Amino acid sequence: MLRLFNTLGRKTEVFHPVSKKAVTIFTCGPSVYQRAHIGNFRTFLFEDVLVRYLEYLGHSVMRGMNFTDLEDKAIRASEEKRLTLHQLTERNIRQFLEEMRLLETKIPQYLPKASESVQESGEIIENLLTAGTAYWHKGNVYFDPLKFHGFGRLYGLDMSAWPSRRRRFHKDTYPGVQWNLGDFILWHGYRRGERYYWDTSIGKGRPSWNIQDPAMISRYFAETLSVYCGGIDNLYRHHDYTLAVLESVRPYPMTRYWLHCNHLYVAGQKMSKSKGNILYTDDLRKRGHDWPAIRFFLIYTHYRQRLNYSDEYLKESAAKLLDLRNRVELLEKRAKKGQSDVSPRGSTKIPGTLKRIFMKYMDDDLNVRDAFDKLCEAVNRMDVDDLSSVEASDILDTLKDIDSVLRVIC
């Protein structure tokens, strides 16, 4: 059975979807004030492996992924580039979806944008104001975490350290991985001269980042999700904010499982503009790496472990992938020869063995590295010349089924 590490509770649990009809998944999409880098794509590819493996196991999956196209940083970036907010974010969305396609990533069924979910944001805020968990202050609306029982439980926040004096945090996002111990903003009230605002049931203004994900989730998923995914940096503030907002207006859990992907570092340092070490897929392509090699590099290390990029490590992982693909080519040649002689006893069990190996490690919290390595060992032990064409074809079919998850082998 598939077992996943649930961030809520910090333990590995047997996976049981909320509904037998479909596994519902929502994943934190990109903030499209800038182009997505390879660290972002690492998270999206881990989520892709999850979706594909669930489908491999026979589940139907319904997935949503949001675009954060309305926030302080996006407005500031559009002004710096002398573009409208729509021009900036749509350009980045188009590029993101094209890179997702080139990386063999399944595009979710639902791709809501924050700018298209403003009315839903206003409706949620109205409910929060009525419930008393949110309040107006100088034209803005803030959420009071002390009014939500169990606030910070996803991260494991020590609420005894919460300040007794009220503090308010006005920005959409704050840099770094630290907690803002105070009330967080939900609604930026309109100020004269502002370019981007909406006229809603709660007045003129725009929703903050902290209310946008609950609004976009509400558009498509009315009940508890099976899985919610994102990067580990979202464990600071963002996901606990989303949980508190949504569960304040819904009398049931937001999701059953929380999954988080760890960071990608470059030469031991986190990617940042100040360090000048941000890498894009273009950079890796210019260094001679094809799309399957990039995808494999980003999924090969377990998603909960920190991944460190270096040219040497990418070359090493690409060489491992190439070795297996070369073995697959030998199997394809054998399958086409039409040889019908009887092969050594027991070789017909190989397809079943390969499937069991793959599932053994993938069922262990999506352990792609061990699943791939053990598959390679099993394939390398085969004497391809001793296989009949039928047996080689059966092995190839099994590897193709497995590759419906990995998307790098065949």
Beta-bridged to residue 5, according to DSSP, are 12
Beta-bridged to residue 112, according to DSSP, are none
Per-residue pLDDT reduced to its tens digit, 348-391: 799 999 999 999 999 999 999 999 999 999 999 999 999 999 99
pLDDT band at 275 (very low <50, low <70, confident <90, very high): confident
Stretch 202-215: mean pLDDT: 97
Which of 231, 234, 358, 368 lies closest to 298 in space, CA to CA?
Answer: 368
pLDDT band at 345 (very low <50, low <70, confident <90, very high): very low
Q: Does 273 reside within a domain?
A: no
Stretch 329-337: mean pLDDT: 93
Q: How far apart are CA 111 and CA 97, in angstroms?
A: 11
Which of 58, 263, 239, 88 lies closest to 154 in space, CA to CA?
Answer: 239
Stretch 152-166: mean pLDDT: 95
Residues of the chain with pLDDT > 90, as a percent, come to: 93
Residues 113 and 41 in one domain: yes
Question: Is residue 211's pLDDT more than 80?
Answer: yes
pLDDT band at 176 (very low <50, low <70, confident <90, very high): confident
Q: Does 292 reside within a domain?
A: no
Residues 234 and 318 in one domain: no
Write down the pLDDT at residue 231: 96
Residues 187 and 254 in one domain: yes
Residues 71 and 171 in one domain: yes
Write down the pLDDT at residue 276: 83
pLDDT band at 346 (very low <50, low <70, confident <90, very high): very low
Question: Is residue 250's pLDDT more than 80?
Answer: yes
Structure tokens at 127: 């409910």
Residues 223 and 351 in one domain: no
Residues 214 and 338 in one domain: no
| Distance (Å) of CA 224 to CA 152, 159, 179, 385, 407 | 19, 26, 27, 52, 30
CATH code, domain carrying 336: 1.20.120
Q: Does 269 reside within a domain?
A: no
Residues of the chain with pLDDT > 70, as a percent, come to: 97
Write down the pLDDT at residue 347: 54
Mean of per-residue pLDDT scores for the chain: 95
| Distance (Å) of CA 170 to CA 80, 188, 262 | 21, 8, 28
Per-residue pLDDT reduced to its tens digit, 25-52: 999 999 999 999 999 999 999 999 999 9
Q: Does 266 reside within a domain?
A: no
Which of 65, 59, 45 lies closest to 16 in space, CA to CA?
Answer: 59
Question: Is residue 342's pLDDT more than 70?
Answer: no
Write down the pLDDT at residue 268: 87
Q: Does 305 reside within a domain?
A: no
Domain edge (last residue) among 261, 284, 301: 261
Write down the pLDDT at residue 246: 98
Write down the pLDDT at residue 271: 82
pLDDT band at 340 (very low <50, low <70, confident <90, very high): low
Stretch 180-195: mean pLDDT: 96
Structural domain of 220: 3-261
Q: Does 72 reside within a domain?
A: yes
Q: Does 69 reside within a domain?
A: yes
Question: Is residue 403's pLDDT more than 60?
Answer: yes
Stretch 20-26: mean pLDDT: 97
Domain count, the chain: 2
Residues 336 and 211 in one domain: no
Residues 153 and 218 in one domain: yes
Per-residue pLDDT reduced to its tens digit, 278-323: 999 999 999 999 999 999 999 999 999 999 999 999 999 999 999 9
Q: Does 296 reside within a domain?
A: no
Residues 240 and 363 in one domain: no
Write down the pLDDT at residue 270: 84
